[in-house]
Structure 1
């Protein structure tokens, strides 16, 4: 049997790094010698399938190794037990060296002569046999044969499927390459936009060659960069990050369906975005179409897709690990539904921030003066916070001198950096009581709501997910540092003054780790924002915020 959780096996890191580096160098050497080190042009003597197969074999091994690495992230305990004795027996490295030497035997007879045509089978025999011995020796260096047997039985069919999928990636990518050609994607997008806009009765003149759609007083160009590939890449990255963060809850390989669903949704919504942009311009609003809507509609679509992916993953039982599993007494365990939304701690950390971000991209998309509508954003955010008030009230609220001091230091440091005032006041032409009311809402949002929402998401949720433990639980130092840096960097990306925001994010993370209470980070953030808002209101320079 494999070691239990109590033994807590750990792989030996240095021998593992050595094995990975050795394999990479051997594959690199093989590729360099046979591609550039001998005077033999394969296509002049061998069939194209043989030349392509030999070239893609090395890439396939690399991809298979990457796929196995991904599998290792999902089944870390399984691999930790397998690799707990790595490097203790050096004899398999002799087998690895023998296989490595055999792969170079074809160098002796691959010459640009007539006899080269008859050397296809012997060359592949040495390559396949040598590669098999090389990989077998490295595998036995990582773990003895008996341990490999137990490991493969415990891993089941998922591991060979992952390895085969990795091996098939290079040839499959070559087959699918035309699909990902930007001109092809742009052409599909262009035709769909023409169909939608024309279907609504707008007089348009399409130019398929240049991908320009002309109207009476407005035109758009659907260049390859506007084809939706960027959105597809963002969605793919988001799904990958989500699957990694929630790997303990999500059922594999079922959850991989989120990739095609997200990509399809991204492509469809991009077509809708461009069609709506065109129709806004044709309706006599070219500035709104080319300005706010064009700049922010893409982020609106991405936010909707991200929320949709989360909703699908959380609410479809088939995608969750706790659906259809079997307990010790062989009785099937029914799907355990998440708690009601109002009492769901995870939703309390995520949903208010999602509302905050959604309003940040929707408002600029529908108006040229988004700051004037800040009170509406505050009301929506307050409603989201109120929905989860039972959870927020249950936090360990204290007046922490450390949090007060750190917040004051962050706030003072923020306002000490000079910032040029904006040319136009964000509140527009508001005066009198309306202006006072605007400042009141701005203060409530800046000092009370934003610190609460951002800290619950960045420090309490995202950082703990990346770190792999709660704020009050120990974790390896490297994971603590990586989690703090990643979340601080993402936090800084939301701010124009990203350097100051990065420092602030790290400070709030330190406060959280120091006390083990997210409420201290919220308090520090609120104190910092209070100082910043007070200085901005007194000086009239709201660009400081």
Structure 2
């Protein structure tokens, strides 16, 4: 029988619990009444930010590293993410084609300007929160969980004994697949997971991956607002 979550090692808890909290709040978005996807995003962003503030100084591997490679990689992943946009590369549309769910409609797309029609300041407020949350909060929480915990846990339960720079094909493919399937844009997500994992392996720390992830999400946020491509959110 597996250990209860709070009986796991400190190294595991500090990497898993913040992500579980954040992911749990994400799953509740839109489930607690009309507009809950917006208010809950604000709540989870604030809670996620507190988690980042707590874990960041306690994990030496998390030193942010904005190298030219990290920035260029982040931009490249953004281009791939947008460039691969099609019905078959978005999970909801795939499920719809298979008869497993209904198709997206304008009412189900995350668009604060449409929802708060007549209160544009709220539209801008939630848009800014979304861009900041996806740029500052999401990257460290996801990278710590997927690249620092899950990748190493796949190799050995005692993650402290597995160097971040170690390459393991099974872990590389598994984590990239899980990461991709956790996103609506699943094909781009799998490629994205591989690229970020490569950044971690090449230097043996998370800094470049977090930076690249932040650049990708920031560029995507600007693209969404500029082009009105709300389906990416």
TM-score normalised by L of structure 1? 0.35
For residue 27 of structure 2, what is the aligned residue in structure 1? 361
For residue 80 of structure 2, what is the aligned residue in structure 1? 413
Larger of the two Rg values belongs to structure = 1
Distance 1:387 1:352 in 2: 9
1:345 offset after TM fit, Å?
Answer: 4.1
Distance 1:451 1:375 in 2: 16
For residue 449 of structure 1, what is the aligned residue in structure 2? 137
1:404 offset after TM fit, Å?
Answer: 1.6
Indicate conservation of the 8 Å contact 1:412/1:531, yes or no. no
Q: 1:402 aligns with which of 61, 66, 69?
A: 69
Gaps of 5+ in 2: 88-103, 157-161
Change (3 A) 1:361 1:467: same
Indicate conservation of the 8 Å contact 2:200/2:206, yes or no. yes
Is 1:494 matched with 2:182? yes
Q: 1:461 aligns with which of 139, 145, 149?
A: 149
1:381-411 deviations in Å (ceiling 9; x for gaps)? 1122223242257733322222222211110
Indicate conservation of the 8 Å contact 2:179/2:193, yes or no. yes
1:539 offset after TM fit, Å?
Answer: 1.0
Distance 1:455 1:382 in 2: 14
Gaps of 5+ in 1: 1-238, 244-254, 256-308, 315-337, 339-343
Change (3 A) 1:517 1:502: same
Is 1:524 matched with 2:190? no
Change (3 A) 1:521 1:394: closer
TM-score normalised by L of structure 2? 0.79
Q: 2:48 aligns with which of 362, 372, 381?
A: 381
Structure having greater relative contact order (Cα 8 Å, sep ≥ 6): 2
1:365 offset after TM fit, Å?
Answer: 2.9
Distance 2:27 2:74 in 1: 28
Indicate conservation of the 8 Å contact 2:74/2:211, yes or no. yes
Indicate conservation of the 8 Å contact 2:136/2:214, yes or no. yes
Counterparts of 1:103-122 in structure 2, within 5 Å, are: none
For residue 164 of structure 2, what is the aligned residue in structure 1? 471
